Homo-oligomer: A and B are copies of this chain.
């Protein structure tokens, strides 16, 4: 079940480097693309950097609307994640084409993708130089949610009974590593 995530915990959702789905909406259109390149840059306020190529419709819509959402797909959505990265929203409405179910969070009209493990709504922070030189878009997370079967008490909980929601980490060509086993480091510095 979808639960609110405290903004102070939002960076934890992407701290481990998952491949994400970026959704946008503007003037009655909507779109979704896959992005392997994103990271937190600040805990409080929670801010991210996401690489969104300047040639994409997503970039155009993110800049025009000033907002986008970061959806974190799990293993069950591997095919979809690869597929939406393989066609352009300029050619088809990917939501219709791939029959993607979505719902709204706090930003009216911005689709969040059903079946993901977590969702972050973001406000684009305009940084023309980084956007132009590195396709790097900075944003501030304004609201976040996670499925409480996999994100429990402010922490990811990767277990055998929720493998479908384990995050995907794109290796290339549709191969994803899955965040599965968890290792607890001993604090040898203490």
Contact = CB atoms under 8 A, between A and B. Distances in A.
Interface residues of A, number: 61
How many copies of the polypeptide does the oligomer hold?
A: 2
Contacts of A180: 177-178, 180-181
Given A37-B41, A176-B183, A185-B176, A136 B49 contact: yes
B41 A169 contact: no
A146 to B, nearest CB: 13
Contacts of A51: 39-41
A176 B40 CA distance: 16
Interface of A: 12, 15-19, 36-42, 47, 49, 51, 75, 78-84, 86-87, 98, 127, 129-130, 133-136, 138, 155-156, 158, 167-172, 174-190
